[in-house]
């Protein structure tokens, strides 16, 4: 069974840079597309970004395009999500996810493995 562990969350101030990490184990990392999702209180889990196994393709939700950057380091079995200027509306629990196959990447239902999430709170 694969396991994903997010880290890097916490309390930050608006305008700060933040880089979340997700370390994978128990799976062939380079064979999986990786995604980031987030869930704010009282809202559904929201797709944020996705990166292919080769890093050749990245995809972003329209709502975050130009504000977040997804990347991966297969040598470290780690995927990252970076935001250079955090805003209060970015407050949410952030989850990373892994899947085999392609297509439908914006749907949480297609992912096979999930991390437990890391809380990100952005204060003014």
pLDDT tens-digit series, residues 41-75: 999 999 999 999 988 899 999 998 889 999 999 99
For residues 62 and 70, give the distance between their C-alpha atoms in angstroms, rounded to a whole number: 14
- As given in the structure block, the two tokens for residue 124 are 């003014």
pLDDT digits (tens, 9 = 90+) for 12-24: 999 999 999 999 9
Please, what is the average pLDDT of the chain? 95
What percent of the chain stands above pLDDT 90?
87
Cα–Cα distances in angstroms (integers) from residue 32 to residues 44, 47, 80, 93, 114, in the given order: 24, 17, 14, 22, 12
Q: What pLDDT is attached to residue 101?
A: 84
> 118-123 and 92-99 as β-strands: parallel, antiparallel, unpaired?
antiparallel
pLDDT band, residue 29 (cuts 50/70/90): very high
Q: What is the pLDDT of residues 85-113, one digit of tens each?
A: 999 999 999 999 999 988 899 999 999 99
């Amino acid at each position: 069974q694969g396991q994903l562990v997010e880290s890097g969350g916490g309390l930050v101030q608006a305008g700060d840079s933040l880089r979340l990490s997700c370390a994978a184990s128990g799976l062939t990392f380079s064979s999986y597309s990786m995604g980031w999702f987030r869930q704010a209180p009282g809202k559904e889990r929201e797709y944020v970004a996705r990166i292919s196994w080769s890093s050749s393709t990245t995809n972003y939700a329209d709502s975050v395009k130009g504000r977040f950057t997804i990347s991966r380091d297969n040598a470290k079995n780690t995927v990252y999500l970076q935001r250079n200027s955090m805003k209060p509306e970015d407050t949410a629990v952030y989850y990373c996810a892994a899947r085999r196959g392609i297509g439908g990447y914006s749907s949480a239902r297609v992912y096979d493995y999930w991390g437990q999430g890391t809380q990100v709170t952005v204060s003014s």
